[in-house]
Chains A and B, each alone.
Chain A
Amino acid sequence: MVLTASQAWDAIISNVRSDLGDVDEADVDALIAGLLRRAAAARSPCTRPDLIEALTESLAGLAPPEIATRENLDRVLDDLLVAGDLIEVERDMGRPIIYLGPPRFVLRRTSILVMGGHAGTGLPLLPELRARLSSRHAQRFLRLGTSEEATAALETLGYFPYPMDAWTACPDVTDPSELLRRLETHLAVAGRAGDVPELIVLDHSQTNRHYRSRWKPPRDQSGRYVGRRPQRWGAPLWCYVELQDGSPTRLVDLPVVDRTFRACDEAWWIQFAIDAVLGHPQEMRIRDAAEEPNTISLRMPLPTWAARRLLLVGDLLPRAQAGYLFTYGISEREMEEEVTFLDEHLWCRRTDE
């Protein structure tokens, strides 16, 4: 059958949505997540750039231009890593590899977060589970009937509980200046950086409010920065770099503090520390709503370990509060504990509406 671009796109959307269960039609991230899961099921293991490049080419001329951009795919792929649907395996040599995550689930208070499994294998869920499936952003949930019943059904289908110690693993509480001092020791033994073409850094000289606009090529700054530098193969590397009048003098590639976490996780953790030490810590804005769930809004991406913790007790809302990068809905009884966690681990400053 010959199709126009829009007919073809409709056919693709309809097919992908069959994996998603109940989903808001306006939830573009959920759709992109579905496309990425299918792509990973077909192509993984592969490198992240290879996956994104191949999917972009495959959707060329089909997807509305604002949807399947490389930037969107890259962003949602990060969310899929947080949600456990995809896993990224670092290697001693060579580029990190993306794998389709094994079938797992995490028990939440009102639902189960599911990952891998039917989205990868294409096997249908049992009707009673399918009826409970829903998607928001990059996450898929099963609404609980009784948790015993649902988890037993999942386990018989080969889904294993995600080990909670692994899901909630996070760095020990530390002082931000202590974290930066540890980085200093690594930087001290790094060789001269030399010329680093196309280096960009997370600027902290002006404002810490707009994450995306903080990324800039160095101009005349001096100090230590979180940066990214391109490499010939694969996505740009995350690094911690010392600048002198805008020129890199020393540089270490991340992660260096704790290799159990991804490079970007460590980079964001460091940036939270830098902002805190400079006296303008990241803000966590708390909204105490009467009818809606209470919310926490942030302006910086969270390291995976923090994002996974919030996913246990809250939901990433479809739209972030204006001026923020994302907003989580969290029940009132969980709020204080989460605020304390973000304060202790990421040194965020609380502001209340």
Chain B
Amino acid sequence: MSGSDDIREWAKRLGIRIPGAEALEKHLSGRREWRARGVGPSGPSSSDSGGAPRLPADTPAGAWDAKIAAHFERLAGVRTHEQSVFALEHGLSDQELEVVTTFVRSEASVPANQRHWLLWVVHAAELGYDFDGDYWPRFARDTPGWEDSNTSRGWIREIFRWFATEFGGPRPTGAWGATFSIIAWPITNALLPRDLQRHLARALYEVQSGLVQHLSGASDLGQYIASNCWIRSDRFAQLTDQPLLLGQIAMALLQPQAVGQETILRATLDRVAADLERERQAATWLRSARTTVEQSHVRGGGRPYTGAATLTPEERLDAAARATAPQLILVPKATDGWSVRLRLPFVAPLLEVSPEIRAQVAGSRASVPAARNRWLATGQLLYPDQVVDLGRWPTEWEPLLQFDGLSRGLESALLTRWAMTPGPWLFAIRRNGTGSEIPSRRLRSGGSYLVAVREEDGVVLSNLNLVPLKVDCADVLVARIDMPDQLERDWSEALRREGLSPVRELIVWPAGLLAAEWDGEAHIRWLSRDPPMLGLRANHSVQNLLISLDERPHEDIGDVDATHTLFVSLQGIGSGEHRLAVSYDVDDESVIGLFSIEISEPRLNQDESTGPVVVWTEPFTRNLELVWDGQSVVRADGVKADGVVCTLTLGHGLSDRTQKVVRGLRLPLQGDQWRRLLRDSIQSDQRIQAKYPEAKWAQVVLDAGAFGTYILEFERELPPVRWTMEEAKDGYQLELRNDMEGSLPREVWYATFNHPDAWLPVSFDGDSVRILAGAAGGLYRASVGERGSMVVVPPLLRTLDSFDALSVSPALARRPRRSDALCELVETTRLWSSGRLPGDIRAKVWRSQIVRLLQGDLFSLICGGEWRACERALERERGEKAYRALQNLVVRTPADRLTVAGALVAQWREFTMMRNEERVERFAALARRASERVSVRWQVLQRRHGDATATWLAEFCLRAASDPHLDTWAEDGLLDAISILLDWPLLARTARCLVTASLAGGREAEYPPLFPNWEWSLV
């Protein structure tokens, strides 16, 4: 059956009168054309196998439908395959749009097949343009009579598919498009919804210095922006997942005059620009970016940039890793000989690659394996110009510096640049007497150098008749080379044989404005704004001097007399890496020197990186709720400063905002200090509490006086299934928002604060869940498809008349000491700890109590009532005596002290300071014993984890004792691992004993974390 037969048949079934054969053919040929261009559906699908029905044009609505169709067809006709037609480009005036909306409303309750779908596309896209997080409630409000059901929502997606097929409309891509599989269509068709406009303007502002080199294609431009901008919003991240779309919009905003209707309809572009102008800052950002583009065109004078490249995030990371690589230096000792030091990387350039990398690197602890004192303090690399003494020469490819807790990709990217290279190693002796490494191993006439070889390669030195110097470092020999002005051929060849490269006659250096990097020999990096320039000086006459750039002749200079100095401008070469060759003839010998030249963009103009302070969230998040909850903390380091002012702003729209100012902070700002600040000075403010539930975004500003002002931004996460909560007269009104396609709420449960593990069902009608929460409050949870959503509802108390109002006395149900019952307890703990918090501080405090209680109950059941009593005593007294009582339940006899468990608990002080990786490593010694004590269960685990079983079980034990998200981490291993703890409680006791050590002498702290210094990655 042909396509037209398909449609006729389909239309006949639905009773739709189809357009004339000619019109139909036209539509189909258009569709075929789009498919041929690669923008249509990639293949037949149930949704796309049908076509777009068109109702007759002989009604007013039909006439509008036809008019709009003709308009979109015109647009489609001038667009290339890179240029979508957006539904927002309907070209209607406000009055016309009002008419269309009226028609849509009039069709709201008629069957879908009797609606003018194109009018609905326009209507839905308009609502997408105003999207602020809740699409369907707004849609229902603006379309009275329309029934919000899965079928109705599905039809909306269907009409956008028709739109994409007929007119080349955009199709949502990326993870967001897959998750929000329906609303992604109208929102993508809204071109640049209002909530993204500010983000895009700022992104253009931040990356403006490189924009001009990427204006030749929308895809390239979008890729450049996506790769270089600093993403502060998950919604904006979704746009950067679609580089073509991003590039199209950016192109139109940057060069509105140069862009014709073939990119974006002028009226639509003007509308977006006008909306952008409404917010002063966004307008300024956009104007600044436009100015840069315009001025760059003027400065460039039409000369094409060469070699411009969009660096991928990986390439930017690699460049930053190279720029920050640790360097070996040799330092003369005051008395005699040399010491070996490692100049530590100052990691700020690395932190500018992305917020995620910033959080990972800034918050992790680093070590120098070859140093006398291996471990560096957390945050130490945020301070420049630091060196550490090396006790031994690093082995080949050994990491010069390591981080704990980096993602594997980041770690391997750094190690590529931060590992020890093979020898021999050459060091130039600088003016201050230190030797700095020359990776190219090139020696200039008249220069003074040190050559280093491994102890076992001492023959290299003897071959060169060099005498080893005294070095205060194991495994290395160092000798000095003073290069003569005239290099003898034999000596030159001897050097070459040993892997060194003597250079004669011509000296080349970066001249003029200071280059950002110059290794003294072969690598130069300039900022793109500075004119790159080389200086050349010949020690002897040279002939046929030629400079080539990227294997093309750049300057043919010819003969140069001795001692003559000249300068060569390299202006006009684009951002990216280039190869420069300087070749010449001297004494009938041809010589060539190779240089790597890099042109990089200046630092981004980011609110987070304006001065010497480094601010970040740990672990990284943009999610307001995680920061409010304390699961992610704000940290600052880099300088020591007093009198820092912190301002937290909660906002709903552009003008609706509430602020809290806290003065007198001190930098560095550690995680626990931030949590105290948040709890005691910010969340305690009733205005902030009241504003929080409706806040869409938050901003944290740290004003460090002379050291600058730093801004972090957060936004409310909008998962596809989420609760909204509104305080009403008679209680909290809860509504479940569901953007999941085809999934209905399966069940809704709640538990009160007083009985947190007694789940009671909540009844609801039909597809939607709208309920009035009980006055006692508690945790409400719903599941839709595979997703769930939890919200903590505060009790309905208007005032805090007494301390009683701030306390709760939860009681847990009795449960058997059985693994399945304990798994339920673990799940309940996680549900409470993951519940979304309202602004009311009581909800947070009570939730904290309940999570602790549930966790305590788990260990009470595993370890026994005596254990629980001792833990309670420790919680109350927080002294060493109480802790010893707990310890005695692990190590009951002197003989127990000689066991692995005994040895572990003896290290309790050390354990409180260790990193989690190290804790797991040590605890694995005990976990391994489980293979003998509970062999059957062990084998089950071993089938899953193989050689890593002991490590996995060790982490499980420590997490069980300290991480309320245990079941998320353990996944399907939970039941078996809990069974092991029940069968051999010593594992649980030892783990819990080590974890609770952090309470001995510590202050009472609010959850999270459950225990001080026991923070696990969010899983």
Q: Which residues of B contact A5 (CB under 8 A)?
A: 565, 567
Chain B residues 220-279 with CB under 8 Å of chain A are: none
A58 touches B510 (CB 8 A): yes
Chain A residues 84-120 with CB under 8 Å of chain B are: 84, 87, 89, 91-92, 94-95, 97, 99-104, 116, 120
Flag whether A122 is at the interface (Cβ < 8 A): yes
Bitwise interface map of A from 1 to 36 toward B, beta carbon under 8 Å scored 1, else 0: 111110110011001100000000000000000010
B512 touches A58 (CB 8 A): yes
Q: Among A37-45, A236-244, A249-257, A283-291, which stretch is in contact with chain B?
A: A37-45
Q: Among B404-412, B466-474, B525-533, B849-857, which stretch is in contact with chain A?
A: B525-533
B531 touches A43 (CB 8 A): no
Flag whether B607 is at the interface (Cβ < 8 A): yes
User: Contacts A12-B531, A126-B287, A156-B280 hold; do A42 and B706 have CB atoms under 8 A apart?
Assistant: no
Q: Which residues of A contact B383 (CB under 8 A)?
A: 91, 94, 97
A94 touches B386 (CB 8 A): yes
Chain B residues 583-640 with CB under 8 Å of chain A are: 602-605, 607, 610-612, 639-640
Flag whether B515 is at the interface (Cβ < 8 A): yes
Flag whether A235 is at the interface (Cβ < 8 A): no
Shortest Cβ gap from A314 to chain B (Å): 21
Q: Among B162-170, B288-296, B439-447, which stretch is in contact with chain A?
A: B288-296
A2 touches B557 (CB 8 A): yes
Roughly how many angstroms separate A130 CA and B517 CA in the complex, as a whole number? Answer: 30
Roughly how many angstroms separate A123 CA and B606 CA in the complex, as a whole number? Answer: 12
Flag whether B95 is at the interface (Cβ < 8 A): no
Q: Which residues of B contact A8 (CB under 8 A)?
A: 511-512, 533, 567, 569
A166 touches B513 (CB 8 A): no
Q: Which residues of A contact B571 (CB under 8 A)?
A: 1
Flag whether A324 is at the interface (Cβ < 8 A): no
A62 touches B512 (CB 8 A): yes
Shortest Cβ gap from B607 to chain A (Å): 7
Roughly how many angstroms separate A104 CA and B707 CA in the complex, as a whole number? Answer: 10
Q: Which residues of A contact B313 (CB under 8 A)?
A: none
Chain B residues 418-449 with CB under 8 Å of chain A are: 431-433
User: Contacts A2-B555, A103-B610, A156-B284 hold; do A35 and B513 have CB atoms under 8 A apart?
Assistant: yes
B513 touches A38 (CB 8 A): yes
B531 touches A11 (CB 8 A): yes
A121 touches B513 (CB 8 A): no
Flag whether A53 is at the interface (Cβ < 8 A): yes
Shortest Cβ gap from B299 to chain A (Å): 9
Bitwise interface map of B from 690 to 707 toward A, beta carbon under 8 Å scored 1, else 0: 000000000000010111
A4 touches B705 (CB 8 A): no
* Interface of A (DSSP majority class): mixed
Instruction: Closest A residue to B289 by CB, please name it.
Output: A123
Flag whether A57 is at the interface (Cβ < 8 A): yes
Roughly how many angstroms separate A1 CA and B208 CA in the complex, as a whole number? Answer: 28
Roughly how many angstroms separate A55 CA and B515 CA in the complex, as a whole number? Answer: 9
Flag whether B952 is at the interface (Cβ < 8 A): no
Flag whether A179 is at the interface (Cβ < 8 A): no
B431 touches A53 (CB 8 A): yes
B603 touches A121 (CB 8 A): yes
Roughly how many angstroms separate A99 CA and B614 CA in the complex, as a whole number? Answer: 13
B705 touches A166 (CB 8 A): yes
Flag whether B509 is at the interface (Cβ < 8 A): yes
Q: Which residues of B contact A94 (CB under 8 A)?
A: 383, 385-386
Shortest Cβ gap from B286 to chain A (Å): 11
Q: Which residues of B contact A104 (CB under 8 A)?
A: 708
A42 touches B513 (CB 8 A): yes
A45 touches B346 (CB 8 A): yes
A163 touches B515 (CB 8 A): no
**Chain A residues within 8 Å of chain B by Cβ, number:** 62
Q: Which residues of A contact B385 (CB under 8 A)?
A: 45-47, 94-95, 97
Shortest Cβ gap from A146 to chain B (Å): 15
Roughly how many angstroms separate A187 CA and B602 CA in the complex, as a whole number? Answer: 47
A3 touches B567 (CB 8 A): yes
Flag whether B110 is at the interface (Cβ < 8 A): no
Flag whether A173 is at the interface (Cβ < 8 A): no
Flag whether B514 is at the interface (Cβ < 8 A): yes
Flag whether B217 is at the interface (Cβ < 8 A): no
Roughly how many angstroms separate A47 CA and B346 CA in the complex, as a whole number? Answer: 13
Q: Which residues of B contact A57 (CB under 8 A)?
A: 509
Chain A residues 50-90 with CB under 8 Å of chain B are: 53-55, 57-62, 84, 87, 89
Q: Which residues of A contact B529 (CB under 8 A)?
A: 122
Q: Which residues of A contact B526 (CB under 8 A)?
A: 42
A38 touches B530 (CB 8 A): yes
Flag whether A196 is at the interface (Cβ < 8 A): no
B705 touches A61 (CB 8 A): no
Q: Which residues of A contact B703 (CB under 8 A)?
A: 160, 163
Roughly how many angstroms separate A64 CA and B542 CA in the complex, as a whole number? Answer: 27
Roughly how many angstroms separate A101 CA and B706 CA in the complex, as a whole number? Answer: 8
Instruction: Closest A residue to B572 by CB, please name it.
Output: A1
Flag whether B566 is at the interface (Cβ < 8 A): yes
Roughly how many angstroms separate A97 CA and B514 CA in the complex, as a whole number? Answer: 18
Roughly how many angstroms separate A38 CA and B537 CA in the complex, as a whole number? Answer: 25
Roughly how many angstroms separate A47 CA and B555 CA in the complex, as a whole number? Answer: 36
A123 touches B566 (CB 8 A): no
Roughly how many angstroms separate A160 CA and B708 CA in the complex, as a whole number? Answer: 8
Q: Which residues of A contact B566 (CB under 8 A)?
A: 2-4
Q: Which residues of A contact B942 (CB under 8 A)?
A: none
Flag whether A158 is at the interface (Cβ < 8 A): yes
Instruction: Closest B residue to A53 by CB, please name it.
Output: B431
Bitwise interface map of B from 1000 to 1012 toward A, beta carbon under 8 Å scored 1, else 0: 0000000000000
Q: In the complex, which of the residues B287, B531, B565, B707 contacts A15, with contact meaning CB atoms closer than 8 Å?
A: B531
B612 touches A43 (CB 8 A): no
Q: Which residues of B contact A101 (CB under 8 A)?
A: 611, 706, 708
A124 touches B610 (CB 8 A): no
Flag whether A323 is at the interface (Cβ < 8 A): no
Roughly how many angstroms separate A116 CA and B706 CA in the complex, as a whole number? Answer: 11
Chain B CB count within 10 A is highest, among A7, A46, A158, for: A158
Flag whether B946 is at the interface (Cβ < 8 A): no
Shortest Cβ gap from B941 to chain A (Å): 48
B291 touches A127 (CB 8 A): yes
Instruction: Closest A residue to B613 by CB, please name it.
Output: A102
Q: In the complex, which of the residues B511, B607, B639 contacts A61, with contact meaning CB atoms closer than 8 Å?
A: B511
Instruction: Closest A residue to B518 by CB, please name it.
Output: A54
B284 touches A157 (CB 8 A): yes
Instruction: Closest B residue to A3 by CB, please name it.
Output: B567
Q: Which residues of B contact A7 (CB under 8 A)?
A: 567
Q: Which residues of B contact A166 (CB under 8 A)?
A: 705-706
Flag whether A152 is at the interface (Cβ < 8 A): yes
Instruction: Closest A residue to B208 by CB, please name it.
Output: A123
Roughly how many angstroms separate A55 CA and B511 CA in the complex, as a whole number? Answer: 9
Roughly how many angstroms separate A12 CA and B526 CA in the complex, as a whole number? Answer: 14
Chain B residues 276-332 with CB under 8 Å of chain A are: 280-281, 284-285, 287-288, 291-292, 295
B605 touches A121 (CB 8 A): yes
B513 touches A122 (CB 8 A): no
B568 touches A3 (CB 8 A): yes
B514 touches A43 (CB 8 A): yes
Flag whether B384 is at the interface (Cβ < 8 A): yes
Flag whether B709 is at the interface (Cβ < 8 A): yes
User: Contacts A47-B385, A102-B611 hold; do A58 and B514 have CB atoms under 8 A apart?
Assistant: yes
Flag whether A307 is at the interface (Cβ < 8 A): no
5 A-B pairs with CB atoms under 8 Å apart are A5-B565, A11-B569, A15-B531, A35-B514, A58-B514
- Given A42-B513, A42-B515, A233-B432, 15 new contacts (CB under 8 A): A1-B555, A3-B568, A4-B566, A39-B514, A42-B516, A58-B509, A62-B535, A87-B611, A94-B385, A95-B385, A99-B612, A102-B708, A120-B602, A123-B288, A123-B602
Q: Sorted from nearest, which 7 A-B pairs have the closest CB atoms?
A: A102-B708, A122-B529, A102-B611, A156-B284, A102-B610, A39-B514, A8-B567
Please give the residue numbers on chain A whose beta carbons come within 8 Å of chain B beta carbons, in ascending order. 1-5, 7-8, 11-12, 15-16, 35, 38-39, 41-43, 45-47, 53-55, 57-62, 84, 87, 89, 91-92, 94-95, 97, 99-104, 116, 120-124, 126-127, 152-153, 156-158, 160, 162-163, 166, 232-233
